Each structure stands twice: as structure tokens, then as C-alpha cells.
Amino acid sequence: MSNKVIHAIYNDDDVLMDAVKQTRAAHHHIEEVYTPFPVHGLDKAMGLAPTRIAIASFLYGLVGLSVATTMMRFIMIVDWPQDIGGKPSFSYIDNMPAFVPIMFEMTVFFAAHLMVITFYMRSKLWPFKKAENPDVRTTDDHFLMEVGVHGNEDDMVSFFKSTGAVEVKVIEKH
């Protein structure tokens, strides 16, 4: 069985957005869209599900807050209590106002770093990974929409040319 895809190349993001909407309306399956910069609203136009990274970020922030609280309690109350500026370190609650900046910073630190790690793992962006970009022009100034071929190939090519594509190629995908 042949696994063919159409690469429709556009040189304007507004034309690309209209083409994505027309392609979805024509019930063609968009495999991927390659862009040189983020295009606002493209995910909704493609029909992609909303991301859950905000939930992950909140959970990572809670982990950071827990680590900060545990660390400060152990260091300042249990392991090495000190009388700093007349404030005895007998309980965590009494000294919590002084610990708020540390709790905030650790929350942000954990959320940010774990979100980046999650993003790279989810996107499968490993160190030294070979680029999967099908056309080098999409890193500069062109946009590429990859659509699976089903039905009449010639009709699909003419459809994409009518959407404003500057170039349409049929590729055999491995």
C-alpha cells in the first residue's frame, strides 16, 4: 500500500489559515503544518485538542511548594535552629512570613523547569535528534501543510492550488 502525502507550500500565514479551514471543510485529514513562527489560532483551525500543560504546571508548582516547605522546615527548625534578629526558630508557623519568598521562588523554579522537561519529552525533542522538517524553507519564510492522499490525487492537487498554495507536491512517505 502506498502512503502518499501532499505538501502544499504557502508564503503567507493568512492564506495558510484560510487553506486550513477550507481543507477541514473539504474533510481532508491534515497530518501536520510546519511554520517558521507560531501562527495564532492555527491549533483551533486544525481542530487540535486543547493542551493540558497548565494542569501539569500547577501540579509541578505544588511539588515545588512542598519541597520548599519541607526543606525550610528541616533546615531552619529541625536541623539547625538559630535565633536570627531576635526571632527564635521554635516553630515553622511563627517564621513562615520570612519563608514566603523562598516558597514562591521554589514554586516557580519547579514549575518552569519541569514544564520544559515535559514539553521536550512530549514533543520527542531529544538531544541530537535528527530534524523531521520536510522542507528547509519552512524554517525561513514558507508554510507547509502536509495532507494524506485519499481519493483522486489530481483533484486534491488542484484543490490545494485553488487554496492559494504556491507549490503542491505529492510525496511518497516512508
The verdict on 75 and 94 lying in the same domain is yes
The verdict on 112 and 148 lying in the same domain is no
The verdict on 165 and 144 lying in the same domain is yes
The verdict on 57 and 118 lying in the same domain is yes
Is pLDDT above 80 for 114?
yes
**Total tally of structural domains belonging to the chain:** 2
The verdict on 9 and 35 lying in the same domain is yes
CA distance 159 to 29: 14
The full length of the chain comes to 174
The predicted model gives 10-30 an average pLDDT of: 94
pTM of the entire structure? 0.71
| pLDDT at residue 2, as a whole number | 59
CB-based contact 17:145 (threshold 8 Å): no
The verdict on 23 and 72 lying in the same domain is no
CATH number of the structural domain spanning residue 145: 3.30.70
Domain that holds residue 90: 53-123
Judged by phi (left if over 0) then psi (alpha if -120 to 50, else beta), residue 35 lies in: beta
CA distance 75 to 71: 6
The verdict on 26 and 84 lying in the same domain is no
Residues 116-164: pLDDT tens digits?
Answer: 999 999 888 888 888 888 888 988 999 999 999 987 888 999 999 999 9
Helices (H), the chain: 13-25, 42-46, 53-72, 92-123, 153-162
Which residue among 104, 123, 142 closes a domain?
Answer: 123
